[in-house]
Amino acid sequence: MADFKDSEATTYFCRTVNNLFDVFNSRNRMSKKPYEKPLSPATEQYFNFLEEAKDYLKSLKLGDTRVILSRRKLGFLGFIISINSLYEYRVKETKELKYLLTYKLSQDHLEIFFSCIRNKGEYSDNRTSQQFQNILKKLLLHTEISGNEASNVVVLDNTSILHCSSSSLEIKTSEDMTSSSNSIEEDEDFIQFKKFLRISPW
């Protein structure tokens, strides 16, 4: 179409940013959509895309000034920092995870949590530490957190944001802890437990 003549650069920009949003919001391990699959060794092409996108964002210019050095740099720097953090640490270097659904790292879960804090019976926008503590106790005791329909974040998956078991917990006194501290290193259960202190692949 004549109206879209010479729009290749704009098309490439929109497609790159759209695919970046998809990569950073993967929610379904079995997704068939391009760029919405979880990050894993099986999706190496997404890592290549992240590297290309990072170089592309660094090269963008407004006039003669690079965007990442301009007053509009914040969103672009956010993408670049997220790419570096996600790719280098979690997947490439430590190899702690078999796959990663990136929506689990979203700020949405924190926004939903604070939405519940704001809507828990208090009318002040500036909570005191005591008010926050009381509200948090109510949430822990009575509910699994879910967002308010009027809040600025919509729940997109079943991520557990705040959950407290109703089972009882035995609290040891300082005397109990002192008497048992000397032998804990030799305890067989403790030795076996240390072997499992690692991040679950799930």
The letter for the amino acid at 105 is: L
Q: What is the pLDDT of residues 84-138, one digit of tens each?
A: 887 665 655 666 677 778 888 888 888 888 887 887 765 667 778 888 888 888 7
Q: How confident is the model at residue 38 (pLDDT cuts 50, 70, 90)?
A: confident
Of the listed ranges 25-29, 103-107, 117-121, 192-196, the least confidently predicted one is: 192-196
Confidence check: pLDDT of 148 > 80 = no
Q: Does residue 35 contact residue 49 with C-beta atoms inside 8 Å?
A: yes
The DSSP bridge partners found for residue 62 are 65
* pLDDT score for 144: 55
Of these ranges, 15-19, 29-33, 140-144, 181-185, the one predicted with the greatest mean pLDDT is: 15-19
Q: Any alpha helices (H) in the chain, and if so which ranges?
A: 8-23, 44-59, 74-84, 108-118, 129-142, 174-181, 188-194
Report d(CA 57, CA 19) in Å as an integer.
13
The letter for the amino acid at 47 is: F
Of these ranges, 5-9, 84-88, 118-122, 185-189, the one predicted with the greatest mean pLDDT is: 5-9
* pLDDT score for 54: 92
For the four alpha carbons of 4, 8, 10 and 12, in that order, the dihedral sign comes to: positive
DSSP structural state of residue 62: E
Q: Where are the domains of the chain?
A: 7-105, 107-165
